[in-house]
Amino acid sequence: MRIVIAGGHGQIALRLERLLAARGDEVAGIIRKAEQADDLREAGAEPVVLDLESASVDEVAERLRGADAAVFAAGAGPGSGVARKDTVDKAAAILFADAAVKAGVRRFVIVSSMGADPRHEGDEVFDVYLRAKGEADAYVRGLDALDWTILRPGQLTDDAGTGLVRLEAHTGRGPIPRDDVAAVLAELVDTSATAGLTLELISGPAPVSVAVKSVAGN
């Protein structure tokens, strides 16, 4: 498969690129800064320099053409302010989805957040973040041209992955290593039977492949 990842230099994305490249997939990661390119090459991915906050749908679609799947793993990051929650976590996700439609890439996986809700109230940065992620998720759900899956991890940690997770429509809150999020994403990209599902993810009892198969087609 050829898989294009938005936010290609993110902590989850770099892990995902390594996993996909190791299994023989062709991977491209969209990054904003050229100086990040070597990190992607080391992970086995082709770096594509493009700023999703200023690019047009046509420009992004051109980078997506010929791909078998697209993964939105970009984020404004914890140090960013309110404005970039809208321009990255919401607007860039919507742009990437529209570009996937234009490029004819049906398989689309978006990394969201537990608690994401377009009706979430509050004016703190995290409130705005959850609202922005929720609005992006709602937009993607409305695109019939995409076989979308929305993944909502719990509290992200840098602990070593265990390969054991709980993946369900509603898991309740809990931690999840970034290693395991990447492993689940690698399975989801390859499992179109999870299309149309919004899934929460925390550490749990099931091996990743078993957890994904158990929700596929539900």
So which residues are the catalytic ones? 129
Angle at the Cα of 63 from the Cα atoms of 60 and 66, rounded to 5 degrees: 125
Sign of the CA dihedral 129, 43, 66, 195? negative
How many CB atoms lie under 10 A from the CB of residue 142?
Answer: 10
Of the candidates 74, 101, 109, the one whose C-alpha atom is nearest the C-alpha of residue 186 is 109
E strand intervals along the chain: 2-6, 26-31, 46-49, 69-72, 107-111, 147-153, 155-157, 164-168, 175-177, 197-203, 206-207
**CB within 8 A of 65, min separation 6: which ones?**
103, 104
Helices (H) and strands (E) in the chain, counts: 8, 11
